[in-house]
Amino acid sequence: MAGFQPMALVAALAAALSGCAYMAEATAPSKTARAARTEVAERADTLFWKTFHKGDYDGIPRALEAVKGAYLQAPDDPTTAAHVGFLHVWRIAERARLSTMTPSVTDDSVLARRYFSEAVVLHPTEARYQGFLATTMLAEASIHKDERLRRRGYYAMLDAVDAWPEFNLFTAGYVFSNQPAESAQFKEGLEMQWRTLDLCSGTRVDRRNPDFGPFMHLQTQQGAKRVCWNSWIAPHNFEGFFLNMGDMLVKSGDWATAQKVYANAKLSSTYGSWKHRAALESRIEQAQANVAAFNAPPSKTAGDAVMMVQSRFACMGCHQE
């Protein structure tokens, strides 16, 4: 047959099918959040918060069964989706608690990203979900050595910071605290902690003498700045923030300023009931020695000489009652 070109026909058919697939996906209805929550979801919430606030790491599987069951019944509930994500984040974040570390623990990062993706789709204006989605993207990118995903996660994190800086500057900096001290990303993360203090205090905090005492009267449970302080969700958020920031300063080599930052945690009215105060007080005493410990590979550190982000209280430092 004159002029017949089989390959051209195949290409044309492939293009047509590709176009059909694109149109089918593009015209699919968007997933939307339900107006009311189910009784199953409310019961799962109760177990979630009980497990979380008690620091019951061994109770994570039971809590996951409850919240995943609620999610399967109502996969259009953003709160339930986020709670599944939080539990997976908690399990991998505090993996130092595990008696035996297995490669499958990395699955928690993948699952957390999936559920936070659903939460963001259903509640796109919730900046906390945006921040946690970005952290899980960065974690998964690190596991798979996926540079494209790492860049996507980084810029998603910057968007989350823009949406709620008082919350997500800390979130981003906490994730970046895992990076080498000399890296640009670690330095950016440490600067994010200073910016958090500036936002929470309403002024530029003295980088050499970061005494937060003069700003304690600003405590609030309202508005964007409520996350600067303790709350029902994070009963020791204030103490945990200064523990982590002190750790980052120690890692940077500035252990003398770190001691002053650590000491700010004691300004909290709930410091006496904080279960991790002994860790902070030990850090004040060992600040200079911890410079080397915090910069050593995790496999070469011992006992409590690890960054908060690598510790058994990576989440519970802020959230445990």
CA 145 to chain centre: 19
Tens digits of residue pLDDT in 154-202: 999 999 999 999 999 999 999 999 999 999 999 999 999 999 999 999 9
Alpha helices by DSSP H, listed for 145-219, are: 147-163, 165-176, 184-201
Angle between helices 147-163 and 127-144 (to 10 degrees): 160
pLDDT exceeding 70 applies to what percent of the chain? Answer: 91
Checking if the pLDDT of 10 tops 90, the result is: no
Asked if 88 contacts 115 with a C-beta cutoff of 8 angstroms, the reply is: yes
Checking if the pLDDT of 298 tops 80, the result is: no
| CA separation, residue 283 to residues 29, 137, 243, 259, 279 (Å) | 53, 31, 9, 8, 6
Asked if 177 contacts 244 with a C-beta cutoff of 8 angstroms, the reply is: yes
Tens digits of residue pLDDT in 204-217: 999 999 999 999 99
Q: Return the sign of the alpha-carbon dihedral for residues 109, 114, 115, 120.
A: positive
pTM: predicted TM-score of the whole model, two decimal places: 0.90
CA torsion angle 109 114 118 119 (round to 10): 0
Tens digits of residue pLDDT in 45-104: 999 999 999 999 999 999 999 999 999 999 999 999 999 999 999 999 999 999 988 999
Tell me the C-alpha distance between 84 and 66, whole Å: 9
What pLDDT score was predicted for residue 289? 96
Angle between helices 39-53 and 60-73 (to 10 degrees): 160
Nearest to residue 172, comparing CAs of 146, 201, 139, 145?
Answer: 139
Tens digits of residue pLDDT in 257-278: 999 999 999 999 999 999 999 9
Asked if 251 contacts 257 with a C-beta cutoff of 8 angstroms, the reply is: no
In one-letter notation, the amino acid at residue 218 is L
Which residues, 6+ apart, have CB-to-CB distance to 211 below 8 Å? 260, 264
